[in-house]
Chain A
Amino acid sequence: MRVIEVKNLSYAYFGASALEDVSFKIKPGAFTGVLGPNGGGKTTLVKLILGLLKPQSGQIKLFTDGWAQIGYMQQRAAAAGLMPLSAFEVARLGLLSTKKTPKIFNRQDDDATLQAMQNTGCAEFKGKLFYELSGGQQQRVLLARALINKPRLLILDEPSTALDSTSREVFFELLSKLNKQGVTILLITHDIGEVGKYVDSFLILDKRLVFHGGKQAFCASPEVTKYFGPYTQHIMDHLHHGGANGVC
């Protein structure tokens, strides 16, 4: 059983390699933290999984029934700009994948939107313009948009960059709750500290797949030690003291 299967995946931008021969499988219900340096191929991997880029070699198999079962939340709404959309309207866009043209929303869609906003704690500012919200509020709206279809697979690309420490805690608790309800989560981050407490497996990308496994294997892996070098002890300490429940 798997939700994502990636086989020998490679991708290059104008000859500059971004991913090289990456293979892995994600099981249903896994909460996987994807780590790696800037330029390590994390976002490229997400774009390939989502079909925003086409693999140049290798393949990706998704075991979901179409886009409606995949929730996607990126760092920030890329082009939100000054578009006068309310938080409610932005969250409701998540239902587009369930509609056929003309994709017109109905009362049930509005109810589902409100429910998703209540679940992510953003219903109170549903009528406010999205661009007037704080970074943390915007993230909650985008999470509501990603969750509105009750996805089986949730892909988040550095979702906590605009959040303060309290909001982060609330945000990750929410993800943890969803994961316990059976949602498979792929979380891209460059900060191992913030995810150590919540994820059950790690995937380290530095163009190639450096490591993929559970927390215990992560702590024991010489590859991880080799990869993180002098920072290894700091990371292990963080996983140990910072909430990895003593795994390391």
Chain B
Amino acid sequence: MGFVEFLSYDFAQRALAAGVLVALITAALGLFLVLKRMALIGDSLSHVALSGVALGLITNLSPVFVAMPVVMASSLAVYKISQSAKVYADSALGIVSAAGLSSGLIIAALAGGFNVDLLSFLFGSILAVSGAELALALVLAVLIFGFIYLFYNELTALVFDEDFAQTAGVKVRRLNIALVLISAAAVVIALKVAGIMLVSAMIILPPCAALQLAENFKRALFLSCALSVAGVVLGVYAAFLLNLPSGAVIILIDLLILALCAGVKKYAFKKRILTKAD
């Protein structure tokens, strides 16, 4: 089936629309998180999302809408624990991750084990995105890009040097809290696209690829979004054609893009050295 024909299906249009929105959200946010060395917050919060999804399934409520407050509350816990000077940020992520994963597994066991619905959240099921989930992704995308636009320079200062940002009058605490809450929302909305197992890769891979090539921060932001969208569009189509889990295919394509960008950077660097030597 050709790509144009694929696009004529409602489910494909919905899947691609949701995928593109999620790609934009995770890539833009991911750039700040990667540079702030908080990239693994996605991994930790996605584990927490398991308990939210399981809770949603056991109560017959929408798993995404139940997971949202659970993961947001956990993101605040990550922030609170990491602010305690006796616990490093990565340990805080590990603590919350362990709590989320263990409670999620217990809830899933109480619900009678892993059923098809839970597995679709574990590995992603973008072709099953509902209209409500698409609307939620759209609202979140508008909110997150509005936030980045309004606080772009403050976020830049925060990521570059937090102590300096505070002395420059940036409300560091509020901004950090906003960042973890938005990360939580991004993780939940990305669950259907990448799945609990791989959602953090959508936050990490496109920004890392963009950082290989970008010569300034704005270009890195644009490139991260563009590469992420490319990965999702190609991934969704390939997953459909090959009947494979969408999340895994998207992430494999993101990995290939990262390898390609790293290769281009290495080649450009060698060329620069040789040009200088000449």
Q: Which residues of A are in contact with B by a Cβ distance under 8 Å? A: 13-14, 47, 50-52, 66-68, 70, 72, 74, 77-86, 89-90, 93-94, 96-97, 99, 101-105, 129, 145
Interface stretch among B65-73, B110-118, B164-172, B231-239?
B164-172
Among B86, B160, B166, contact of A90 (Cβ-Cβ < 8 Å): B160
Residues 78-91 of chain B, each 1 if its beta carbon lies under 8 Å from chain A, else 0: 00000001100000
Task: Give the docked Cα–Cα distance between A50 and B150 (Å).
Answer: 26
- A-B pair count, CB < 8 Å, reads 96
Q: Give the distance to chain B from A125, nearest Cβ to Cβ, in Å.
A: 14
The reply to whether A105 and B161 form a contact with Cβ atoms under 8 Å apart is no
Contacts of B86 in A (CB 8 A): 14
Secondary structure type dominating chain B contacts: helix
Instruction: Name A129's contact: one of B162, B168, B215 (CB within 8 Å).
Output: B215
- B153 touches A (CB below 8 Å): yes
Separation in Å of the B96 CB from the closest CB of chain A?
Answer: 22
B237 CB to nearest A CB, Å: 31
Residues of A within 8 A of B157 (CB): 93, 96
| Chain B neighbourhood of A47, CB < 8 A | 163
> From residue B278, how far is it (CB to closest CB) to chain A in Å?
21
* Contact present for B214 and A84 (CB under 8 Å): yes
**A78 neighbours in B (Cβ, 8 Å):** 161-164
Q: Report if A101-B214 is in contact (Cβ < 8 Å); known contacts: A72-B164, A77-B160, A80-B161.
A: no
Please, which residue of chain A has its CB at the minimum distance from the CB of B162?
Answer: A79
In angstroms, Cα B167 to Cα A97, docked, is: 8
B243 — which chain A residues lie within 8 A by C-beta?
none
CB distance from B107 to the nearest CB of A (A): 37
Instruction: Contact check, B217 vs A85: say whether CB atoms are below 8 A apart.
Output: yes
- New contact pairs (10) apart from A79-B160, A84-B215, A97-B169, CB-CB < 8 Å: A52-B167, A82-B35, A83-B160, A85-B216, A85-B217, A94-B168, A96-B169, A101-B154, A104-B152, A104-B153
CB distance from A149 to the nearest CB of B (A): 9
Kindly provide the distance from the CB of B157 to the nearest chain A CB, expressed in whole angstroms: 5
CB within 8 Å for A81 and B168 given contacts A14-B86, A93-B153: no
Beta-carbon contact of B150 and A102 below 8 Å: yes
Q: Please measure, in the bound complex, the distance between the C-alpha atom of A219 and the C-alpha atom of B173, giving whole angstroms.
A: 45
Nearest CB of B to A219, in Å: 34
